[in-house]
Structure 1
Amino acid sequence: MKTPMPAVAITTSILLLVGCASDDSAHTDGDIASLPAATVLEKSLAALKAVPSYKVEIHTNSTSGQASTTLAVVGTDLRGSVTRAGATSEVLKVGTNRYIRPDEAFWSTMLDKPKQAHAYTVAAHGRWIKVRADDDLLETGGLEGAFTFAARNALDSAVPQQASLGERKDVGGVPTITVLDSRNDRTQISVATTGEPYPVRWDFGLGAVATFTDFGAPADTIEEPAPTDVVDISTVLGSAK
């Protein structure tokens, strides 16, 4: 059973922003808010890619149901969880290694394996399940999108093809300038106007919103699980045939 990808996969925009100047310095309100919308977006994406750590929560409320993703990103490592249709899986990325830790409902609902779900859960025994980056299970289970936040490219395909500046407003106590999709106003990005121009809130439209916090805040190192706490996906899937 295929399910929609979380967060960024909801958008149909796949064009990257090109041709804008880059500047790594911090920006004041009069500086960033006076720039063209496309430049504001480029600087915002660059700031997100450069920050050592951040947190993000993505909430989706669409015709396909409700979903939530909560992630902590440190460098290119990541840890968090994805919940949809009453099913939850933890996700973990350390270096090039990817792990998932699903509950029984995940196997039954997200992978459409109700008969095997209990056997899979018993085989995993609460351990992290190691998966390949290209494992079809990640896409089928709606987990692939979460890992793109560690690569810092999760938002690249969500950049509006045509953008314009909207209103100034506070988002979570942070002064921001709104960048709109000029074609339909569906996408709305709130970019910080003080300090670095981080994307504080990204409304993808279609009921999906990402909220970013804790930019550069001290964060615990995300570590590899102990070998005794890891099982390979092939072992889990082989437990019920």
Structure 2
Amino acid sequence: MAAKKALVAAVAVCLGATALAGCGSDDGKDADKAFGGKSPDQIAADAVKATREAKSVRVEGTARQPTGNEIGLNFHVDEQDHCTGTITGQGAKAEVLQLGQQVYVRGDQKFWQNSLQGQPGTQQKVQQLQGKWVKSQPNQAGTEGVCDKQAFLAALDSDKSERKGLTKGETTEIDGKDALALVKKQSNGEKTTMYVATEGEPYILKAVTEGGKQPGEVTFSDYNEKVEAKQPPADQVVDPGAAKTSG
């Protein structure tokens, strides 16, 4: 599924290059109390660890590819391979549902047109699949790295060097929670910001990349909340092998 794989790749870039760094001013006095005087680098390391260890998390974000195409996602995923969410890109939208090793994808017409482009009988297949929950496997659905919580969040810790040389920014509010901004500016003009919760677990609440080739924004919420993944009605499920073309 080309559209989904492109989305996963772009968000992985956004997380890998964004959520490990930050931006803001150097006024972190209020946060010194919350984090016991820890350095920005140590706060970032603690934030990545806490986020990866959470039982579940909602990840919502957008990223712009070098081609100008904007892609987005909104997923709630846990450690038990339960996942619900939506992906958008190239004018298309699809819902994704995972229960254990079974994945279901329900895409609109544009989604299936993008995904099946170039295959024989594309239009007939599109008509048969759009609006239905299509059965797939995790390694076939293009959702690997998204609906696999640990694999998806592994991007947060893929390059520890990106957590070096951060500065403390100001404290602000993200979705009603106080957060400290951590700051890093790249020589290429790219600026990235990671916002870390100052109360309770030091979860990452938001990450933003500005400038550079792939600006984007990702928010993290609904930590440790139950993922409402339910089996879709049987009459709304189709096997992709059932999509056939007439001779």
Q: TM-score, normalised by structure 2?
A: 0.72
* Aligned mate of 2:181, from 178, 183, 187: 178
Aligned-partner SS, 2:180: strand
Report what 2:129 is aligned to: 124
Matched, 1:107 2:115: no
- Give CA deviations for 1:90-115 in whole Å, capped at 9, x if unaligned: 11121122221111101223553487
What does the per-residue CA deviation read over 1:144-202, in whole Å, with 9 as the maximum and x for residues that have no partner? Answer: 45324475435333762534133022132322222234644633211111111110101
Letter in 2 for 1:106: F
CA deviation profile, 1:23-65 (whole Å, cap 9, x unmatched): xxxxx86252632333322321222233333322101234432
Change in CA separation of 1:33 and 1:12 when aligned onto 2, cut-off 3 Å: same
Task: Provide the C-alpha distance between the structure 2 equivalents of 1:234 and 1:158, rounded to a whole number of angstroms.
Answer: 40
- Rate the CA distance shift 1:158–1:189 in 2: closer, same or farther, 3 A: farther
| Alignment partner of 1:197 out of 198, 202, 223 | 202
In 2: Cα distance, 1:38 partner to 1:84 partner:
34
Q: Answer 1 or 2: higher relative contact order, Cα 8 Å, separation at least 6.
A: 2
1:55 maps to 58
- Give the unaligned 5+ runs of structure 1: 17-27
Cα distance in 1 for partners of 2:119, 2:64 equals 25
Which of 12, 17, 40 aligns to 1:8? It is: 12
- The letter for the 2-side match of 1:153 is A
Task: Single out whichever of 200-209 and 119-128 deviates more from structure 2.
Answer: 119-128
Larger helix share, 1 or 2: 2
User: 1:104, 1:210 → 2: CA distance?
Assistant: 27
Among 194, 202, 218, the alignment partner of 1:210 is 218
Q: Could you say what the CA RMSD is over the residues aligned between the two structures, in angstroms? A: 3.3
Q: Distance in 1 between matches of 2:170 and 2:110?
A: 42
Cα 1:158–1:112 shift into 2, 3 Å: farther
Contact preservation (8 Å) 2:40, 2:168: no
Q: How many residues get paired?
A: 221
Q: Please give the secondary structure, in 2, of the residue aligned with 1:155.
A: helix
What residue identity is the alignment partner of 1:157?
S
CA–CA distance in structure 1, aligned partners of residues 246 and 219 of structure 2: 39
**Which range moved further: 198-207 or 1-10?**
1-10
Letter in 2 for 1:212: F
Which residue matches 1:24?
none
Picking from 229, 235, 241, the partner of 2:242 is 235
Q: Tell me which of 40, 46, 49 is aligned to 1:43.
A: 46
Looking at structure 1, the residues matched to 177 and 129 of structure 2 have their Cα atoms a distance apart, in angstroms, of: 43
Does residue 96 in structure 1 map to residue 101 in structure 2?
A: yes
Contact 1:203 1:210 in 2 (8 A): yes
Alignment partners' CA distance in 2, 1:179 and 1:240? 58
> What is the alpha-carbon distance in structure 1 between the residues aligned to residue 37 and residue 117 of structure 2?
50
Residues 158-177 of structure 1 aligned to structure 2 (within 5 Å): 160=162, 162-172=164-174, 173-177=176-180
Question: 2: CA distance between counterparts of 1:127 and 1:162?
Answer: 47
The separation in 2 between residues aligned to 1:118 and 1:33, in whole angstroms, is 60
Any idea what SS the aligned residue of 1:6 has?
A: helix
Compared CA separation, residues 211 and 158, structure 1 to 2 (3 A): farther
Q: Which residue of 1 aligns with 2:147?
A: 147
Question: Shift in Å at residue 132 of structure 1?
Answer: 2.4
Q: Which amino acid aligns with 2:102?
A: N
Contact 1:105/1:117 (8 A) holds in 2:
no
